[in-house]
Structure 1
């Protein structure tokens, strides 16, 4: 099985795809893709059997909930996060790596219609509000950039992400702590 191969190749954690991505064609939706809830449960159990943790690319309430309920270590992205999904993350101490800047960068590069750009900006604002709620609810947070775009300006994107965390209402000293300790804590088992 591929999970065993990954472990034998030195992996400590694997990333699965629990959903598609935010659609620029149909605002408010996630593109098709990702594993089903049953498949996610199987992957998390199988990874755990081999001593591996699982991170889940997940957008939309159903995918976020399925991944968190299956026992993933973290939710990556988490666009269209809901209060109900956030409660599950808080209860289960599932990390959230919100990558807020990734959506902003993607829409800046897209040839999206004006109404789509307006919707995406609203979603970014809502996402920042959810990051603030997550912080106040005790959801463990880590910083990530999802820097897969062509220019790969890692440092700048990381700094942008920290500014977005501050924009979500998290105090600057706490953002520094999340930046320095969140990723380490996420990757520890």
Structure 2
């Protein structure tokens, strides 16, 4: 076995670390009890304490650049923690494991490589973490500019689809004609449809470039 094969070989550590990371980002145990709560990324990230009447340091009724600056500050712990987790998983071979597992799924569905699998899973519950991961994948050469464009099109429409549907749309769910499961599935289908429209446009554009050349 040469050096390249040895580097690309995925060990059990890679699969275990990938599995744990997927569980953390999936939100399955967000409402878990006891130690199961520690298997959710949002629970591990925690929340800021309140000053009075349930209001944290951001206050209430803020506007403009100052309010935006405070909101940006709230994202720093989440992003830093996520990047740290991803680096640990990557060092254990988790990204190679993701590539092998997700490639048969993501290639036909979105035309992106399996190495984007962790970002794909995290995009269900966090648009911030998924965007940071996508940026990292592009900068490291794991995905091309076209693949990044397709993936961003998927993420941007209905971002953090599970979290936002449950949290921000909670007042509307009791009067919805469908259960929450079918609603989320329809949203994911629309996200897939939009991403594949972008994929088609990129394919046609690249085809025209080749014909001109």
Same fold (TM over 0.5): no
Whichever of the two has the greater Rg, that structure is: 2
Q: TM-score, normalised by structure 1?
A: 0.34
Higher percent of residues as helix: 2
Q: TM-score, normalised by structure 2?
A: 0.31
